[in-house]
Structure 1
Amino acid sequence: METSSLLDRITINPLVCHGKPTIRNKRYMVESMLEYLSAGDSIEELLIEFPDLEREDFLACIQFATKALKTKTYHLAVA
């Protein structure tokens, strides 16, 4: 799957999870899914735990984090 189509799965909506990046506008935060993966859970295990998510959703989280880390400057949002 292309990077751009994977990243389309990540949404930022101020009305969902306080504007944090989520998977497909659901209440699954990218940050939380990355924490599961970094703790050693496999994508296959997480697919069982979260049956409404797809393998590509987890790949999108990883891709999103990779792109975020490549950013040279960070901007704070002022509300």
Structure 2
Amino acid sequence: MVRGGILVKHAAFNTSLLQYLACPLSKDPLRYCEKSQELVNDSLGVAYPIIDGIACLVPSRGRLVEKLPKDPEPDPAAGR
């Protein structure tokens, strides 16, 4: 990223902070998505941006993401 003619390297998010962070809406734990560089609440389907290495946990900055369907429970009768 270039700011004011100076090349600025994106700051990396410190994943050890995940133990202290929670979703501001549900208070559920958050998951770090390396691909999108966001913190994700899987139960609500909301992702929060990480800006310059800092989590932006303002509810209005969150975006809705598609919830992944749960794997279906194996049918015990199918194994017979």
Assess same fold via TM > 0.5.
no
Q: Which has the higher contact order (CA 8 A, sep 6+)?
A: 1
- Normalising by the smaller structure, the TM-score range is under 0.3
Question: Whose helix fraction is larger, Structure 1's or Structure 2's?
Answer: 1
Question: Whose strand fraction is larger, Structure 1's or Structure 2's?
Answer: 2
Of structures 1 and 2, the larger Rg is shown by 2
TM-score (norm 2): 0.23
TM-score (norm 1): 0.23
